[in-house]
Amino acid sequence: MTVISSTIEGRIAIVTADNPPVNALSQAVREGLVREVQAMAADDAVDAIVIACAGRTFFAGADITEFGKPPMNPSLPDVVETIEATEKPVVAALHGTALGGGLEVALSCHYRVALKSAKVGLPEVMLGILPGAGGTQRFPRIAGVENALDAIVSGRHISVVEAHKWGAVDQLVEDADQLLPAAIKLATEKVSEGPRRTGDISIDSGKYDPAFFNAFRASVAKKTRGYFAPEQCIKAVEAAVNMPLAEGLKAERRLFMECMGNPQSAALRHMFFAERQVSRIPGITKETPRRDIKKVGIIGAGTMGGGIAMNFANAGIEVMMLELQQDALDRGLKVVRGNYERSVKSGRLTMGQVDELMARFTGTLSYDALSDCDLIIEAVFEKMEIKKQVFAELDRVAKKGAILASNTSYLDIDEIAASTSRPEDVIGLHFFSPANVMRLLEIVRAEKTADDVLATAVDLAKKIKKVGVVAGVCHGFIGNRMLSKYGWVSAISVISGNKPEEVDAALFDFGMPMGPLTMADMAGLDIGYMNRQSIGRDNYDTRAFDWQDKLVEAGRKGLKVGAGIYDYDEGSRAPKPSAFTENIIDEESKRLGITRTPKAAGDIVERAILALVNEGAKILAEGKAYRASDIDVVYANGYGFPPFRGGPMHYADSLGLDAVVKKLHGFIKEDSNWGTVAPLIEKLAAEGKTFADFDRENAA
């Protein structure tokens, strides 16, 4: 297949790429571009060149599947250099998303015309690298240093309307069929003027002294904590400011290669592909029918129900909210409006848009009003009896073919489904709090869930901009089932020797957004307490949790009451070490006969993460998750596991499963409450394999 071809219209050559799905700049594309651009530049019948792409987008960047493999010529920097050096004007015609290497190709063209809906960006930082084909040198020259620095370090997609204001795009067109004619027209007009090279633009370096860059570093420090690539990006832009182009390009290459050699880039690449794998589900194909979802009913207008509803309204879907009392319904709708109005304050929405969004909401006190909903999600109190009552009502009122979903975080969906006459229509849709913000959606496939119900849920997740991961029915599904082990390890770390703040600091420094004990305070210590009361003391490790139960019994239920494991100043969410808690921990350890011996931060982290991994492997072996990489997606998107570590399963692969098995055996020897090493880890380790190998061998 020819991925790059040329035609000549009048005296303008049109070089077109056609490499579906996203015109990634593979070796064949790079070679074709160099070949055709050089041929057209040498052709006397051609005065100027337009570079365009067929299909849904301009080049979406370098071909990420080639990363980590031996380099193949021509390199992307070679391509970019060839285009920029061309003596005839070259115009890029942008549509879709010109990202990474795609934008770098566009910047090496002498002029740019874009469809108004197009986006540009340099998202390499999200893959743990930096724009390595001149993007860090050319974008600051044409778009301005401040704009480029922000774009390169955030990796965000930028509307071409904004890029046009910055001077990085010359012309915008409204309709797709105007794009090529406009590019040809501009190319024709520029024949007499000749090329205008981005690389020739000079930067007023005096404006950008070290203090400017240090202030920028400080402004992004919180967001980039633990990441390697952002600082490399900043250094590359500093090089653009302080060096001539050729030297700046050399500095960029060096910084790029350092990124490629850092394990974070492999981890972030793993996350990129993992997120795109989640929608591949055994038994589900493109041909599996989907159900039409135009109206969604939500039962429960509390924080969770309101947050869930916002996702659908944001996607243009009508929402009917049900509550039992008018005041609860009014309160719920008011909270939703308040959330939207906060976005007005931050400039993300206008008041008119808020009204438009709110017009998609209707409230009701009657189940009968849900009879025309295509999907109904319950977000009521987490108790099986209550859920069953709700589903009995839904069975009575829902129309034939409506999908009935539970937002339960732990309960058995098979049992819930069995309480209806239509278990095939029942599914779990487990949103994470705050549901309008968190990207993760666990889609729980129950035993009898129909394929078209599952396929609809998976598509819907994308539509509402969630990353939907399919899980099987088990206590806590993927995320919370693993979390219970993580919570146990952190509790045992405290009673056996470390202060809560030491455990939290160790995991924060590993890259978690907050430590497990701060998280427990935030969630409310009473939740775990009630759960333990209901399962009985014979069914959990009392040594680990008695100190937390004592805190609850003393009224310290967590952040919501201003006291939990930590103390909190009035109105503050910042945890402060508590003498009261220290005392309880001391008393409890004495009562249990434990000689408290603190562990080093690395040991704390190892135990906490390997507890996740061990449970994750059990979940995988039971088929409750389809891929190890799905588990990584759950942890990165629902629990803040640092993406630069690639999720717990990828992290275990990076340690080597042999080493993981040895460590786990050591922990079990120390404390039998660790249980057993997951047989799957033992097996993979014995075969010299990784979780990534497991995923490849079991690919759907």
Q: Is 252 in the site for ligand 3H9 (CB under 6 A)?
A: no
| Member of 29, 33, 41, 62 binding ligand 3H9 (CB under 6 A) | 62
Question: Catalytic: 104?
Answer: yes
> x/- contact string, 653-682, with ligand 3H9 (CB under 6 A)?
------------------------------
Angstrom distances, CA of residue 644 to CA of 125, 607, 648: 11, 19, 11
| Member of 65, 326, 366, 583 binding ligand 3H9 (CB under 6 A) | 65
Closest to ligand 3H9 by CB, 131 or 642: 131
Closest to ligand 3H9 by CB, 142 or 336: 142
Stretch near ligand 3H9 under the rule CB under 6 A, chosen from 55-63, 322-330, 354-362, 435-443:
55-63
Q: Which of 104, 252, 501, 615 is catalytic?
A: 104
Q: Which residues pair with 442 in a beta bridge?
A: 430, 469
Least distance in angstroms from the C-beta of 26 to ligand 3H9: 8
Q: Is 638 in the site for ligand 3H9 (CB under 6 A)?
A: no
Q: Looking at residues 70 to 99 of the shown chain, list those that interact with ligand 3H9 (rule: CB under 6 A).
A: 76, 97, 99
Q: Residue 404 in contact with residue 448, Cβ under 8 Å?
A: no
Angstrom distances, CA of residue 109 to CA of 22, 81, 205: 20, 10, 24
Q: Which of 124, 238, 323, 615 is catalytic?
A: 124
Stretch near ligand 3H9 under the rule CB under 6 A, chosen from 39-47, 60-68, 186-194, 540-548:
60-68
| Member of 47, 84, 104, 425 binding ligand 3H9 (CB under 6 A) | 104
Question: Catalytic: 670?
Answer: no
Calpha distance 626→632 (Å, rounded): 12
Calpha distance 194→41 (Å, rounded): 12
The DSSP 8-state label assigned to residue 261 in this structure reads: T
Q: Is 127 in the site for ligand 3H9 (CB under 6 A)?
A: yes
Least distance in angstroms from the C-beta of 61 to ligand 3H9: 2
119 φ, ψ to 5°? Answer: -130, 150
Q: Which two tokens stand for residue 228?
A: 């390697």
Name the helix (H) or strand (E) containing 172: strand 171-173
Calpha distance 52→95 (Å, rounded): 9
Closest to ligand 3H9 by CB, 95 or 663: 95
| Member of 36, 63, 501, 546 binding ligand 3H9 (CB under 6 A) | 63
SS3 per-residue string spanning 447-479: CCCCHHHHHHHHHHHHHCCCEEEEEECCCCCCH
| Member of 40, 53, 91, 100 binding ligand 3H9 (CB under 6 A) | 100
Least distance in angstroms from the C-beta of 435 to ligand 3H9: 22
Order of strands, edge to edge, in the sheet holding 467-472?
361-364, 318-322, 295-299, 375-378, 403-406, 426-431, 440-445, 467-472
Q: Is 15 in the site for ligand 3H9 (CB under 6 A)?
A: no
Least distance in angstroms from the C-beta of 618 to ligand 3H9: 28
Least distance in angstroms from the C-beta of 225 to ligand 3H9: 22
3-state secondary structure of 382: coil
Residue type, 600: A
> x/- contact string, 138-177, with ligand 3H9 (CB under 6 A)?
----------------------------------------
Q: How many residues touch ligand 3H9 (CB under 6 A)?
A: 24
Calpha distance 328→331 (Å, rounded): 5
297 φ, ψ to 5°? Answer: -100, 140
Q: Which residues pair with 295 in a beta bridge?
A: 318
| Member of 3, 133, 453, 492 binding ligand 3H9 (CB under 6 A) | 133
Written as one string, the DSSP assignment of 42-107 is H-TT-SEEEEEE-TT-S--SB-GGGTTS---SSPHHHHHHHHHH-SS-EEEEE-SEEETHHHHHHH
Q: Is 124 in the site for ligand 3H9 (CB under 6 A)?
A: yes
Residue ranges binding ligand 3H9 (CB under 6 A): 21-22, 24, 57, 60-65, 76, 97, 99-101, 104, 123-124, 127, 131-133, 135, 276
| Residues with catalytic function | 104, 124
